[in-house]
């Protein structure tokens, strides 16, 4: 099990790395995280919703993700509530106290899932959450030391040196653990180091001497890694730099909504040569961008109100009406529509509101939630689909309610299957001037054809030539790169011995 001194210390990526390393070494390996709090989600082949991090870790292990790998997903909604997903299905919106009333049943679910994975795989690599030393939450824990005890798993404690204070973080965590909890710690890992590891020797020697625990490795900071991160902490100050030499050619601005979700939709764009992707909250950044993207949101109506409060609705609408390219994905697509109706109060106490009026869409929220892996085709030519019927597009849906296009409105995609079942359904809409596209599909830019169509459209509008740079590395190649770096910097033989497989 991998636990950390805090959130965002790299537990998710190191779990993915160990999953790939153990797979490369011939083991059947699966990831597990009992409870994930994140707005980045994924959909399994059966339509179950789990944390994106566990789907990434399963992909690194070359297996299909299942709901047992992340039995509990909490999606924060604000106002001290979270949308609770249990075994892939919505259990409703709850306060913390309401959630805690389910604790006994949740523990049984977690323990059952661990047992199923242990029976099906040679190794289960478990990820913790936050810190095991959150002493105010010790009695309510079902994701850190409870899981370590239930799985009888040795624990690697991860510290992030990039933000500073790593020795205090590791020592403080160990000091705050109960004796029986500290006994489960089998080794320490320093993550995200930039520089010569020899400079750390005095600190590493101190930790090993004081706590009688081995430091199993110092893992370097990996630049431009194309693997989805778990939570929006990763977006702090996020701005990509062009991967080719010279000045950036294209500027893509993604509106950083308070409830932004599934921002890994844009990971492939961030790695394209000559492209800068920025997460923005300012009017001028929106006005000067070649493309503005309004991304997915956990709380569409609340984030739409935020847009208006900051005055960002005006530049988005004005540039779209002037023919500058704009894209809305899922919640962003809903915001760009004409009207949002919520008669049952699914999202908020507000029963209806006007959208930005750019797309000919009406959104009607319902309690039923759609989660599906989808296949689609290009339905109407647009700046993300060069011609009707061109190739298949893979993606996924996670949204509440129905998005209803006006009669005669063009759609960018036509869905031909959901969770393997054939269907025939239009997706999203195009604006009358075709400068704005709205889609409910996540993951579209993992399709090379869609990404190429978008960037070609942007370059054509600016009179720029197509680049001769390398293609974006595949996710599989990125897992291999991550695994190679971690294998070289972590004592994998010791990890195997601790796990009882060597």
Catalytic center residues: 330, 442
Contact, 479 vs 59, CB < 8 A?
Answer: yes
Own/partner pairs for 245-249, CB < 8 Å, 24+ apart?
A: 248/274, 248/275, 248/276, 249/274, 249/275, 249/459, 249/462, 249/464, 249/467
What DSSP letter does each residue of 263-312 carry, written as one string?
A: GGGGHHHHTSTTEEEEEE--HHHHHH-SEEEE-EES-HHHHHHHHHHTT-
CA–CA–CA angle 344, 350, 356 (5° rounding): 110
Three-state SS at 138: helix
Q: What is the largest CA-CA distance in the chain?
A: 73
Instruction: Output helix, strand, coil percentages for the chain, rounded to the nearest 5.
Output: 35, 30, 35
Q: What are the phi and psi torsion angles at 463 (to 5°)?
A: 70, 30
Three-state SS at 195: coil
Contacts of 262 (CB under 8 A, 6+ apart): 39, 40, 41, 52, 295, 296, 329, 330, 398, 442
């Amino acid at each position: 099990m991998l636990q950390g001194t805090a959130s965002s210390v790299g537990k998710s990526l190191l779990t993915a790395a160990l999953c790939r390393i153990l797979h490369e070494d011939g083991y059947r390996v699966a990831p597990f995280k009992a409870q994930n709090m994140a707005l980045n989600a994924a959909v399994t082949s059966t339509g179950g919703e789990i944390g994106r991090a566990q789907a990434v870790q399963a992909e690194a292990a070359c297996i299909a993700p299942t709901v047992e790998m992340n039995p509990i997903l909490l999606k924060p909604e604000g106002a001290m509530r979270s949308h609770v997903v249990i075994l892939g299905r919505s259990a409703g919106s709850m306060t913390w106290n309401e959630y805690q009333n389910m604790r006994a049943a949740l523990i049984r679910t977690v323990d059952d899932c661990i047992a199923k994975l242990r029976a099906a795989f040679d190794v289960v690599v478990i990820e913790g959450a936050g810190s095991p030393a959150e002493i105010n939450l010790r009695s309510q824990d079902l994701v850190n030391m409870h899981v370590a005890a239930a799985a009888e798993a040795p624990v690697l404690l991860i510290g992030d040196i990039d933000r500073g204070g790593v020795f205090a973080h590791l020592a403080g965590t160990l000091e705050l653990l109960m004796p029986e909890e500290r006994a489960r710690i089998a080794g320490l890992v320093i993550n995200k180091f930039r520089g010569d590891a020899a400079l750390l020797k005095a600190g590493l020697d101190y930790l090993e001497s004081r706590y009688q625990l081995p430091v199993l490795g110092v893992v370097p900071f990996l630049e431009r890694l194309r693997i989805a991160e778990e939570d929006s902490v990763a977006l702090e100050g996020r701005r990509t730099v062009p991967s080719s030499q010279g000045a950036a050619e294209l500027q893509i601005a993604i509106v950083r909504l308070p409830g932004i979700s599934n921002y890994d939709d844009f990971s492939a764009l961030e790695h394209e040569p000559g492209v800068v992707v920025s997460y923005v909250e300012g009017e001028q950044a929106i006005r000067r961008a070649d493309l503005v993207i309004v991304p997915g949101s956990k709380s569409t109506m609340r984030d739409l109100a935020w847009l208006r409060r900051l005055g960002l609705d005006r530049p988005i609408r004005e540039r779209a009406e002037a023919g500058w390219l704009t894209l809305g994905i899922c919640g962003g697509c809903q915001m760009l529509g004409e009207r949002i109706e919520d008669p049952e109060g699914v999202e908020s106490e507000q029963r209806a509101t006007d959208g930005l009026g750019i797309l000919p869409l009406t959104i009607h929220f319902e309690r039923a939630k759609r989660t599906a892996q989808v296949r689609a085709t290009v339905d109407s030519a647009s700046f993300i689909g060069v011609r009707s019927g061109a190739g298949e597009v893979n993606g996924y849906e996670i949204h509440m309610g129905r998005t209803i296009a006006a009669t005669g409105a063009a759609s960018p995609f036509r869905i031909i299957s959901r969770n393997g079942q054939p269907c025939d359904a239009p997706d999203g809409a195009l604006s009358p001037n075709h400068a704005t596209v709205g889609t409910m599909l996540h993951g579209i830019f993992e399709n090379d054809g869609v990404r190429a169509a978008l960037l070609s459209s942007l370059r054509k509008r600016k009179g720029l030539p197509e680049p001769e740079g390398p293609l974006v590395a595949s996710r599989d190649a990125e897992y291999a790169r991550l695994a190679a770096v971690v294998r070289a910097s972590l004592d994998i033989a010791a990890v195997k011995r601790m796990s009882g497989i060597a």
